[in-house]
């Protein structure tokens, strides 16, 4: 009897704790799916959020709210005054920054709140917008809402094309990793209902310092990411071929110390998607292979030289050298060693398939 009483009492006492958990019933909250930040002046920004309004058997309607503010949280408070239900960040999918803002102010103070919010997933995509984010978020893309459209766009380009792996987690990891420069993709609105990934922005201390064009993204991905999948056109005398990389890996090797010399081995497994020439003979394939290797070497080296010239390091050479060196001094590295480093690229290309019908 006493035991039963104790049980009942404990259940009742436990139910008092009910108030300790905050209830967020799905239909009584406003889900923010995307946030955009635009530049107003050196102290103020314009924040825009996009929320989907789900309608039965229809594509969700995108509604945007904007507010001028100093930092992100106060911007949300301002928007809070415009919405019927409390705003929650739990299903946030993308955060966009306008190009002007990234160049002039930097995105660090704006990203900070997201890494502290437990509701925000680390798979959140960050991106720079060529133009105004307010305008971009105001468009109507796809059938699943704007933010989902943007995040799907990035997701599939990372998986199947030449956009390197990127999200909040990767951004922060790169940012906190000394000897590595973070990068995020750049998108642009090219019509009322169309978007495009235009390239990759490189951010030094949160500010955009360089931009990689879409044509170079294939080589950039070879340098920074594993399992690069992308398409590259190779020209030889007898025609032009489209080679799709199906698997790739890159390895660093510290070949010399004084002066520093780094060799980057790039392994690519490719298949030939199309060929414009007459016939694809084994000889042609051999030529294609060599040409592809040459292209990789030339273009990658060009990229690396450009990074060294701009004193940025998205490939993480500094980080790699640090792992190989005792008592590594980053100041010395940044000021002296990185400038004079010699980088060699050694591509290893394999063409594993050239079509079913020979």
Partner 1 sequence: MFNFFKNSEKESLDKILAKSADFKCLEYYNNKSNISFTLKFLATLVDEKTIQDSVLPYLLEGNFKQIEDVKQIVPLPDIKLSEDISQIEDMIFNGSVLLTVNGKDNKFCFLGAKKEIGRNISLPEVEFSVIGPKESFVESLDQNLNLIRKRIPVKELVIEKKTVGTLSKTKVAILYIDGITNTENVNTVRQRIEGIEFDEITDSSYIVQIISDNQNSPFPQLLDTERPDRISAILAEGKVAIFVDGSPHALIGPTTLVEFFSSFEDYYLNWILSSFFRLIRLFAVVFSILVTPVYVATLSYHYELIPQDLMSTLVASRRAIPFPPILEALFLELTIELLREAGARLPTKVGQTIGIVGGIVIGTASVEAGLTSNILLIFIALAALASFTTPVYRIGNTIRLLRFPFLLFAEVWGLLGIIVCFCFLLTHLIRLTSLGRPYLEPLYPPRMQDLKDAFIRLSFDKQRKRPFLLNTKEPYRFPKKAKKEKKDIEDE
Contact residues for partner 1 (CB under 8 A)? Answer: 14-15, 17-18, 21-27, 29, 31, 33, 52, 54-57, 60, 88, 90-91, 93, 119, 121, 144-145, 148, 151
Smallest distance, partner 1 to C-beta of residue 350, A: 37
Helix axes of 108-116 and 168-176: crossing angle, nearest 10 degrees: 110
Cα–Cα distance, 172 to 167 (Å, whole number): 9
Cβ proximity to partner 1, 29 vs 285, nearer residue: 29
Smallest distance, partner 1 to C-beta of residue 30, A: 11
- Across the strands, what pairs with 194? 191
Cβ proximity to partner 1, 55 vs 357, nearer residue: 55
Q: CA triplet 165, 265, 325: central angle to 5 degrees?
A: 90
Cβ proximity to partner 1, 90 vs 259, nearer residue: 90
Smallest distance, partner 1 to C-beta of residue 28, A: 8
Instruction: Report which of 251, 255, 247, 246 is spatially closest to residue 265, judged by C-alpha positions.
Output: 251
Smallest distance, partner 1 to C-beta of residue 190, A: 24
Smallest distance, partner 1 to C-beta of residue 96, A: 17
Cα–Cα distance, 279 to 276 (Å, whole number): 9
Query: Which residues are within 8 A (CB) of 134 and not within 5 positions of it... i.e. 6 or more apart?
Result: 36, 38, 46, 48, 64, 66
Smallest distance, partner 1 to C-beta of residue 60, A: 5
Asked whether the beta carbons of 98 and 184 are under 8 A apart, the reply is no
Cβ proximity to partner 1, 145 vs 347, nearer residue: 145
Instruction: Report which of 126, 136, 141, 139 is spatially closest to residue 188, judged by C-alpha positions.
Output: 136
Helix (H) or strand (E) holding 330: helix 330-332
Cα–Cα distance, 78 to 257 (Å, whole number): 56
Asked whether the beta carbons of 228 and 244 are under 8 A apart, the reply is no
Cα–Cα distance, 211 to 201 (Å, whole number): 5
Cβ proximity to partner 1, 195 vs 264, nearer residue: 195
User: What proportions of the chain, in percent to the nearest 5, are helix, strand and coil?
Assistant: 35, 35, 30
Cβ proximity to partner 1, 67 vs 126, nearer residue: 126
Smallest distance, partner 1 to C-beta of residue 50, A: 13
Smallest distance, partner 1 to C-beta of residue 267, A: 35
Check the CA dihedral 76-82-88-89 and report its sign: negative
Cβ proximity to partner 1, 14 vs 356, nearer residue: 14
Query: Which residues are within 8 A (CB) of 105 and not within 5 positions of it... i.e. 6 or more apart?
Result: 39, 42, 45, 207
Cβ proximity to partner 1, 43 vs 116, nearer residue: 116
Cβ proximity to partner 1, 25 vs 357, nearer residue: 25
Smallest distance, partner 1 to C-beta of residue 63, A: 14
Beta strands in 90-137 (DSSP E): 94-98, 125-129
Smallest distance, partner 1 to C-beta of residue 25, A: 5
Cβ proximity to partner 1, 54 vs 205, nearer residue: 54
């Amino acid at each position: 009897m006493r035991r039963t009483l104790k049980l009942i009492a404990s259940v009742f006492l436990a139910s008092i704790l009910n108030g300790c958990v905050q209830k967020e019933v799905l239909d009584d909250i406003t889900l923010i799916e995307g946030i955009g930040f635009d530049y107003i002046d050196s102290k103020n920004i314009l924040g825009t959020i996009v929320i989907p309004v789900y309608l039965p058997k229809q594509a969700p309607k995108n509604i945007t709210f904007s507010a001028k503010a100093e930092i992100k949280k106060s911007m949300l408070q301002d928007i809070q005054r415009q919405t019927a239900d409390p705003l929650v960040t739990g299903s946030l999918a993308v955060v966009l920054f306008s190009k002007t803002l990234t160049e002039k102010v930097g995105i660090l103070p704006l990203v900070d709140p997201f890494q502290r919010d437990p509701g925000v997933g680390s798979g959140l995509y960050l991106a720079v917008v060529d133009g105004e984010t307010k305008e971009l978020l105001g468009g109507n893309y796809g059938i699943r809402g704007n933010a989902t459209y943007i995040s799907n766009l990035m997701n599939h380009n990372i998986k199947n094309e030449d956009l390197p792996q990127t999200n909040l987690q990767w951004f922060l990891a790169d940012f906190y990793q000394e000897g590595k420069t973070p990068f995020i993709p750049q998108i642009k609105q090219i019509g009322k209902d169309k978007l495009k990934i235009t390239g990759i922005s490189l951010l030094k201390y949160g500010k955009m310092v360089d931009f990689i064009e879409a044509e170079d993204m294939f080589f950039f991905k070879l340098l920074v990411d594993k399992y690069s999948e992308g398409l590259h056109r190779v020209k030889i005398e007898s025609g032009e071929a489209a080679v799709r990389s199906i698997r790739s890996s890159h390895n660093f090797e510290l070949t010399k110390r004084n002066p520093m010399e780094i060799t980057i081995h790039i392994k690519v497994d490719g298949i030939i998607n199309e060929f414009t020439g007459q016939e694809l003979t084994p000889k042609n394939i051999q030529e294609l292979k060599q040409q592809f290797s040459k292209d990789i070497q030339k273009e990658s080296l060009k990229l690396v030289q450009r990074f060294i010239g701009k004193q940025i390091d998205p490939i993480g050479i500094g980080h790699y050298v640090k792992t190989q060196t005792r008592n590594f001094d980053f100041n010395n590295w940044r000021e002296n060693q990185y400038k004079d480093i010699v980088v060699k690229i050694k591509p290893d290309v394999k063409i594993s398939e050239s079509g079913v019908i020979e």
